[in-house]
Structure 1
């Protein structure tokens, strides 16, 4: 899990050069319950930090996923169309949602590292 950054809305970002892999945290998927549908953006969509990136529907509720950084969607996890439960099973690897080409890598510096995020979750 090294190198992950987290938002207070429970999204994670893994930066590799100018590409960010984005998904939801294990805590978030456990709070949502069984995920039944994931609405992903179109490749090529430009998003700004904090804007809606995707929607995850579970048996409990629908929840928006927000962009932790600004950028352009360069890939979506198409496998989630057939297997949305991958987000429950392995949210930090197989259950990723989108990959962005990051416009400003410095935006990720405002996100929590794993230790800070773990402390944040304990405070909830």
Structure 2
């Protein structure tokens, strides 16, 4: 099975729900590397050493709010993809661990959004794909 990628802007996006076939370990590892890279790119913007800022909190001063919002939503999208692909391929090495990590992150961030009176769908609505 060949995996299909969609190029949006300069960002590479994989849509796992379109594929019912199971992945090989190598395919899974390659996809996880892509999404891990996406998460790591967002860390440069969101995980500022002075305060561990995220897009929901307002204590980051090193980037503008739109850049923070884009990075936050990109990270959320990556974790959603990691969770979906890992759940779909639970028998592969590291899939259970990656699923647990992704679900934990998503639960924490959704709780923070809910605590601020927001939802992910509303917060990230209308954003352009990662570039």
Tell me if TM exceeds 0.5.
no
TM-score band by shorter chain is under 0.3
The normalised TM-score by structure 2 is 0.22
Which structure is higher in strand share?
Answer: 1
Instruction: Point out the structure with max Rg over C-alpha.
Output: 2
The normalised TM-score by structure 1 is 0.23
Which structure is higher in helix share?
Answer: 2
